[in-house]
Every structure is written in C-alpha cells, then in structure tokens.
Structure 1
Amino acid sequence: MKEPLPQLDSLFLAALDIESPEQRATFLNETCGTNLELRHEVERLLKSNELSGSFLEQPAPELDATMMFRKGSLNGDVAIHAGPATAFDQRQAVVIGRAGLSVLKNLEGTINVPRILLRDSIKDGPEPILKPQSFELPDRDSDSRYQLQGEIARGGMGAILKGRDTDLGRELAIKVLLDSHKDKPDVVQRFIEEAQIGGQLQHPGIAPVYELGQFADRRPFFSMKLVKGETFSKLLADRADPSVDRAKLVGIFEHVCQTVAYAHSRGVIHRDLKPANIMVGAFGEVQVMDWGLAKVLLAGGVADEKKARNTQLAQSLIQTLRNNTGSDHPGTVGDLGSAGSQTQVGSVMGTPAYMPPEQALGETDHLDERADVFGLGAILCEILTGKPPYTADNGTMVFRMATRGKLSECFSRLDQCGADVELIAITKHCLAVEPSERPRDANVLTERITAYLASVETRLRVSEVERAAEAARAEEALHTVAETEARARAERRAKRLQLIMAAVVLVLVSIGGVAAMRSAVVQSRLKDDALNAERVAEEAREGAVKAARREQALAQEAQDLQQRESELRQQAEVREQTIQAMLYAAEMNLAGQAADDVSGLRRVGQITTSWGPERVARNLRG
C-alpha cells in the first residue's frame, strides 16, 4: 500500500487560498523543494478543484446541448442549482438526453451487449412498405437506435415510416411531420398534440405511442406499435356482397365501439371515424388509428367551454403541453390562447362521406361525443349496405349532402339490405341529423351492439335445438313406418303359412302316413318363420323406444337453453344497473367538486337534474 505523502492536505489547502498563479508557483517551489512527487500531487488536486468548480458554475457543453427549456422557464444555471421542484412548474418542462439515442451503443465496451431477435410470425402478412426511397426519410443518424426502412402511408400532416428499434429488436411505425410543414408552428403543435393524446389513451384498441422525439432536420416524430394486417375498408371492399360475413364484421365493429367509448370516457373525440382508419391485425386485434383530428373536450361540455374561453381558465381532461386547451386551433407555446381552441369559422376537418352535419357546417363549438356516434353509425351503414351514408359522383356533391344531412337514399338502402330490423334501427338512430336524437356517446352504442349480438347468439342456439328436435321427429317417423311395414310383412307371411298348413292337411288326409311326416317338417318351418317374424317386430318396438328417449333428451336441452337465456338476461340487467351506479357516482363526484366554487353551482344543478326520476327507475344513492 502506497504511503500518504507528508503535508499533502495542508499544502493543498494553503495553495488553494493563493489566487495568483505566479504566487502559487513560488509557494510550491519553496515548500516542495526537490520533492517532485509531492508537488505533482498538489498540482493534480488543484486542477481537479478548478474543473469541479467550473462544472458547477456552468454545465459542460455536452450536457448543455441535451437540455431544452420551454419559453418562459428559468435559465439553465438556475434550473441545475435550484433543482426540478423549484425551477419548473406544471406548465414547464425540461428534457434531458437525445430522443432516439441508442443505449446499447453507450454500453458497448462495458458489457457483452445481448441482441435477441424473435422470429417473425407466419401470420404477419406481406411487407407493408410502399416507398422504400421516400423523400420523407430523414438522414441517417449514427447515434440513433432507429433504422428507417421506408414509407408505409401518408396523410395530410405526416408520413408513416416503418422502422426498427435496434436496442429492443422490435418493428415500429414512426409518424414524422411532413417536410413541407416543419416551419408551420400550428401544424407542428397539432402533430405534438396527436402524440400526447395517443400516449395517454391506454387501451388495447389504440396503438400505443412509445416515444416523442425530433430528427436532426428539426421535424418532430413519434414512434408507436406497428400493426400488421388490413384496413377495415379493405375487408369491406373485398366482399362479393354486403351480406357476406355480416356477423363477423359486426363483431369487429363492437370492438371499435368499445375503443371509442374508452376515448369518450377520457374526454376525447376522434372526429374522423371511418373504415380506412381501423386496422384489423393478423391475429384478430382491432385498433382505431389516426388520432390527428382528435379533440379534447372540456370537463363541463359546450356551456362550460364558452365560459372558460371568456375567463381563459379552461383545462383539458387530458393534460398536454399545448396551453391546456382543446385541439382545434393550436396556440403558441407559453400563451393561454382561447379556451377550447376552436377552428376558424368555416373550416372543416374530417371525411365528408362519414361526417355529421354539424361538423360539415364547421360548428366546432357544438361538437361532442355524438359526432363520433354519427361516424360509428356511418361505418355500420357501410357494413350493412356496402356504401357510406353519403354517395355522389364527386366530392363537392358529397360534402353538400353532408352539410344538409340528406340521408333519404341512405335509409332506403338500409331498409332493403336484408339485415335484422334491430340492427337497422340502431344504425338509423346513430345517423340522426340532430345530435340530440343520437345515442349520448359510444358507451351507450356499445351496450346496444353487445345486447344485439347476445340476442343473435341466443336465437342461433334456439334454432339449433329446434333443428335437432325436427331431425329427431323425422327419425322417429321413419322408425314408425319401418315398424308398420314389418308388422304388415309378418301378417302376410302368417296368412301364407296358414294357407300352406291347410293345403298340407288336405294332402295328409289324402295320402296318409307320408303326408303326416311331411306335415311335421312343414310345421317346423312354420314355427321358425313365426319366430323370425316375432324378432323383427321386437326390433321395431326397441327402435321406437330409443326414438322416444332421444326426443325426451332434446326437450330437456331446450328447457336448459331457455333457463340459460333467462340467466343471461338477468346478468345483463345487473351489469346495466352496475354501470348506471358507477356513472351516477362519478357525476356526483364531479358535482361535489363543482360545488366548491360558486361558479360551478349551475353545473351542479345540471348534473342533479340529469339524474331525475325520468332517467333512473331506482334510487342510486346507496
């Protein structure tokens, strides 16, 4: 073990008090003399102290390049010395580290970095890349963990690239802002809003967002799950007739309704629901895509939104870094903007063929969950009839039909499509021109679709039992016919035997003893024939007994199915009561929170009035 140098600590502290470099050198010459090792150690400590002090006073350039501060936040020095709790409030953020940086590259040389790659599924389907050399592909960053392989699809705001996370070994869909929009702040903000909304909507029916980042060319991107499969639009178009696979497609539609119902529970409406924005994966997974036009509703609905715009105090149900406002008209980072952030008057976003009239007219102040309910009804219309609600020779005519809510031709197609009356009624209810006449939200629609599918399953089971009972009755009739024919044959044979015996008697009378011997032989044969006839009759009787037992078993099965149907109906009623009680509790909680503020008394009245006797048939207050 190396012995500590004498006087090292005291010399270091003494030299540290001398500020002039010349005076410090003279001091070391005098105190260290010829002990070069001692002088080297003192100088090393002094240099380390200088580096440490400069780092604390000013971050290293490498760290400074990885820090971003929002407009209006504290500067870097204050942020580092004060700590996150002091330097940033809930509307300010600091991001440390580069998005997309490969962690495994940093670990190379320190450990044996593993590279585990699973085999591709045989059901993944064909390669989705459409443009391997897309102009939207950014330049390759050597430090990035993303390998970009080509363009999958493109929308009005961004392009979807197929990528691979080399650290985790998984394929990704990476949505990047189009190069033509990178200098448009409002489009950039809407793009970020889409990522933030998608990142907070945690549901199996919504592709999860993994990361939000920025490429070297300053374009933002976010990575998400790559769903391999087909669009719902393709599945509908590939049918030979709208009646083909109708039950299967309605089952997929139920999953879509459940996903949208979850989004509505989080205060988000999609505003562009259509078959092309629904992916059906290779293993049956159903996901609602493209939340680029999604709007975050304010907690109190349209009335509260107007009030919040006047006071500039609105706050979204889902918190994002976009002024805590709605999502129609992005503001600038750091300002409050207008509450609800409405689009400019007259601007329309969405797909006219599936659009409710209020959205086509640009009435964004009045859009709520019922706009999505119309879109879901439009999808159901295409499932049943093969076409969306509005069809015309050109886009202008389709848009004009959407603004006027012209659905007479659509309803005529529905009446002639041959689907169940109940399903047609649900579709028309969703496509009502007036929002107030539609189901309140996707959760209400989901309950109706689920109940319909359950009733269809029950009807199928009952039909199967009836077919089985009919088959048993037919089989029993066949056995009865066979038994009757067997008895007729036995009677005919007995008559023939009687005639033969009479003839034998006559012969015996005429020819004496020889005839008697022959008569004995004939009688033996007659006895054998009689035994055979009796055996045939016995077999027919046994067949009839078996048929009767089968009919009894089928009747018992039908009774069991009826009992099961009754139990399912009771379970559905209990579930509906439970959901109603949960909704009641949630809204009463909101009423309690609103009651803390004098301005919220009106909201309390609205909530309590909505739970009057005309809405519920029992006391939900426990």
Structure 2
Amino acid sequence: MVDPPEDADFEEVARSFAALWHALTVAGGNAHGPERRRFLIDQVRNALDRGEDRLAGHDTTIIANTFLLEALVHEGATTRVHRARHRDLESLHAIKTLRPEQADDPVARTLLLREARIGGVIRHPNVAATQTLLRLADGRPALVLEWIDRSLADLVREAPLSVGGITQIIAAVLSGLDAIHAAGYVHGDLSLSNLRYPGDDLSRLKIGDFGIALETGRRHRDLDIAFAGRPQFAPPEQVAGQALDGRSDLHAAGLILSTLLDHCQETGAIVERLRRLATELARPQPQERPENAKAALHLLGGLDQEIPG
C-alpha cells in the first residue's frame, strides 16, 4: 500500500498547481489568445513528461509501445541513432533521438524538430525517407527514418570500386541534391557515412541526415551553431560561416567523387574525365562551379554514354 503524501507536501503541490492553473486560464486568458494558451499548456505537459519519466525510470528499450531498440548505431554530441524493429510489422527503422542529458537543450531540440520538418517535405528515390516523429515518455522528440543498412564509408573499406559503380553513385547523389535544392534547402553535410544504400544496389543510394540542413541563402550561425559539417567535405564558404546555396553541396559532391576515384583501380580516359568533373564541382569559388545539380547531371550524362555497362 502506498503511503499518502505528507500534508505539507500536498499543500505545496496544490498551491503550485493553483498558481499554474491561474496563469494558464485567468491571467493567460486575458494576456494570450487560444493558440498561445494551447502552446503554454503543451509546454507544461512536456515538463511533466520529462519529470515523471526521470522519477519512474521507464524501460527505454521499447518506445511508444511500438518500436524495440535493437542496437545503437551512431552516437553524436547531442543525438543517438538506433536500429529499431516495429513490434507488430517486424520492419526495421532508424530512430534518432536526443541524448538524455540533452533533453532540455533548446538548440538541440529545435534542430531535431527542424530535421523532421525538412525531411518530411522531400520525397525522392535518392533521399532517405522521414517517416514520422514521436514523442518519448520523457518528452524528447524521436525521429523515425527509413532504415538503410550500408554506407559509402563501408563500401570504400571493403573493395576497389569500378568506374560504373562510381558513376551510379554520383548520379544518385546529384539526383537527390536536385530534389533537395528544388525544395529550397541546402543539405550542408554530405559525407561517405551519410550516403547510404540497401544491399548491393548502388542505384538506390540515398542522401540521409538533414540535421544541419538550411534554407537556401542562410548561414549556420542563424541556427545558433558555429561551424557545422564535415571539414574534409565542407566548401570554403561553409568553413567561413557564409551563406550557402546548392553549389555548396556540389562542392562536397565533387570531393566525394574524388575520394571514390582514389579507391578505383581502373585507368583510362573515362577515369580522367571523371576526375576533371570532380575538380569542376569542387572549385573554390561558388560561381566557378556548375550552376546547379541539373547542370552537373548534364555533364555526367555525357560521360555516362562512354562508360561500359
């Protein structure tokens, strides 16, 4: 049997609740409209969720009573990514959440919610699908994503690449970038680990991780973060904290193409022309690069006709 709360504790909670209720209804009703009042109430629910979960010590291996977290596959400074299995459908998914100690970090939370919104508006065969956004018992957002088991980082460690395979990869990257840019965004974080494909099918390669994606023409400092991206692939304007556009992603694509060619044992005219394309994409100044991903695809298309299947 649970002991009743001490009278003093109960009275303190009752007084606090009465003050909160007054702020949300009487005082809030005079100062705020219905939408603002609903927002305030939702924030109170968030705070209660976080506090109750920390006290109760809930089982975190099952979330939303639906997904079983099977393995931690990536851990960053503010987020974690798990491979998860749907308990009824048996389907695999990637679930990205804030680290528990980041639960109250407003910048980290805002970035994850932005990632969900951006991923939700882009639908393309070469862009990893954002499936839904959940709220965990402790109030943290959890982003449910398409599970894709392999990355280019895995591929380059395993075996030399063929010219045909490299061409498939860069065509998929440029096609996905074209869709991202058409939606008004810059990915800003292309890397071998963020380019993923299922099984052995490079033609189905997809761009993932919109954690630091930006609206075209914005800078990362607009999101209250200093430098964001991978130094080995970031263009000069990103390193300098300047505004980005689609050509910034083309620079990263050019460096990725160059990296893939370094893992190719084939030689000849086609390889040299692909290297020249990589150089064109990764020119230091944005105005020196192709105008957009479509123009880069056109340049690749001329090469593709010369590459044996």
Q: Does 1:246 align with 2:149?
A: no
The residue number in structure 2 matching 1:259 is 176
Q: Distance in 1 between matches of 2:61 and 2:274?
A: 52
Q: 2:288 aligns with which of 428, 437, 443?
A: 437
Could you tell me how far 1:176 is from its partner in structure 2? Answer: 0.9
Q: CA–CA distance in 1 between the matches of 2:189 and 2:291?
A: 18
Please tell me the root mean square deviation across aligned C-alpha atoms, in Å: 3.3
Gaps in structure 2 of 5+ consecutive residues: 1-23, 46-57
The separation in 1 between residues aligned to 2:40 and 2:214, in whole angstroms, is 23
Instruction: Look up the SS of the partner of 1:348 in the other structure.
Output: coil
Alignment partner of 2:193: what SS?
Answer: helix
Q: CA deviation at 1:88?
A: 5.0
1:21-420 alignment to 2 at 5 Å? Answer: 139=60, 144-228=65-149, 230-240=150-160, 244-282=161-199, 284=201, 285-297=204-216, 302=217, 328-329=220-221, 341=222, 343=224, 347-363=226-242, 365=243, 367-386=244-263, 418=268, 420=270
Corresponding residue of 1:594 = none
Paired residue type of 2:125: P
Q: Give distance in 2, aligned partners of 1:371 and 1:260.
A: 11
2:219 and 2:241 in contact (8 A); partners too: no
Q: Distance in 2 between matches of 1:377 and 1:293?
A: 20
1:507-522 paired onto structure 2 within 5 Å = none
TM-aligned CA distance change 1:141 to 1:272, over 3 Å:
closer
Aligned counterparts of 1:204 and 1:94: Cα–Cα separation in 2:
39
* Aligned ranges 1:546-565 → 2 under 5 Å: none
- 8 Å Cα contact 1:211/1:222 also seen in 2: yes
Amino acid at match of 2:231: P
Would the aligned equivalents of 1:250 and 1:383 in 2 still touch at CA under 8 Å?
no
Q: 1:444 to 1:141 in 2, by over 3 A?
A: same
Q: Given that residues 81 and 97 in structure 2 are in contact (C-alpha distance below 8 angstroms), is that contact kept between their aligned partners in structure 1?
A: yes
- Give the conservation status (yes or no) of the 8 Å contact 2:107–2:224: no
Q: Distance in 2 between matches of 1:382 and 1:283?
A: 19
**Residues 447, 282 of structure 1: CA spacing in aligned structure 2 closer, same or farther, 3 A cutoff?**
same
How many Å separate the matches in 1 of 2:63 and 2:212? 34
Higher RCO (C-alpha under 8 Å, 6+ residues apart)? 2
| TM-aligned CA deviation for residue 169 of structure 1 | 3.4
* Per-residue Cα deviation, 1:178-232 (whole angstroms, up to 9, x for no partner): 122112101110011111111111112222222212211222111111112x211
Check the 8 A contact 1:261/1:446 in 2, yes or no: no
The C-alpha deviation readout for 1:415-468, integer Å capped at 9, x for no partner, is: x975524322211111111111001222211222123102335xx8xxxxxxxx
Match for residue 298 of structure 2 among 418, 426, 447 = 447
1:427 pairs with 2:304: no
Native 8 Å contact 2:166 2:257 kept in 1: no
Q: In 2, are the aligned partners of 1:157 and 1:191 still within 8 Å (CA)?
A: no
**Greater share of strand:** 2
Q: CA deviation at 1:357?
A: 1.2
Q: Residue by residue, what CA displacement relative to the aligned partner does 1:342-396 show, whole Å, maximum 9, x if unpaired?
A: 556xx21111111211111222x3x111110000000110111249xxxxxxxxx
Equivalent-residue separation in structure 2 for 1:211 and 1:164 (angstroms): 15
Contact 1:138-1:215 within 8 A present in 2 as well: no
CA distance in 1, matches of 2:139, 2:196: 30
- Show the counterpart of 1:456: 307
Query: Which residue identity does 2:206 align to in structure 1?
Result: Q
Q: Which residue of 1 aligns with 2:48?
A: none
For 1:368 and 1:348, how far apart are their aligned partners in 2? 16
Distance 1:93 1:423, change over 3 A: farther
| Moved >6 Å (runs of 4+) | 92-95
Per-residue CA distance 1:465-501 (angstroms, 9 max, x = gap): xxxxxxxxxxxxxxxxxxxxxxxxxxxxxxxxxxxxx
Q: Is the 8 A contact 1:207 1:224 kept in 2?
A: yes
Task: Name the larger-Rg structure.
Answer: 1
SS at match of 2:92: strand
SS in 2 for 1:372: helix
Which secondary structure does the structure 1 equivalent of 2:306 belong to? helix
In structure 1, distance between residues paired with 2:155 and 2:81: 21
Structure 1 residue 174: Cα displacement: 0.8
Give the percent of matched residue pairs that are identical in Structure 1 and Structure 2: 23
- Cα pair distance change 1:452/1:151, threshold 3 Å: same
More helix by share: 1
**Secondary structure of the structure 2 residue equivalent to 1:354:** coil
Q: Matched residue of 1:353: which SS?
A: coil
Matched to 1:237, the amino acid is: R
* 1:455 aligned counterpart, secondary structure: coil
1:235 partner letter: L
Match of 2:5 in 1: none
SS where residue 94 of structure 2 aligns? Answer: strand
Change (3 A) 1:194 1:422: same
The whole-number CA distance in structure 1 between the counterparts of 2:288 and 2:63 is: 57
Q: Unpaired segments of 5 or more residues in structure 1?
A: 1-72, 79-85, 99-136, 303-325, 330-340, 388-415, 461-622
1:384–1:417 CA contact under 8 A, matched in 2: no
**Alpha-carbon distance in 2 for matches of 1:143, 1:239:** 40
Taking the aligned partners of 1:259 and 1:384, their CA distance within structure 2 comes to 20
In structure 1, what is the Cα distance between the partners aligned to 2:62 and 2:134?
13
What's the TM-score, normalizing by structure 2? 0.75
Residue 218 of structure 1 aligns to a residue in which SS?
coil
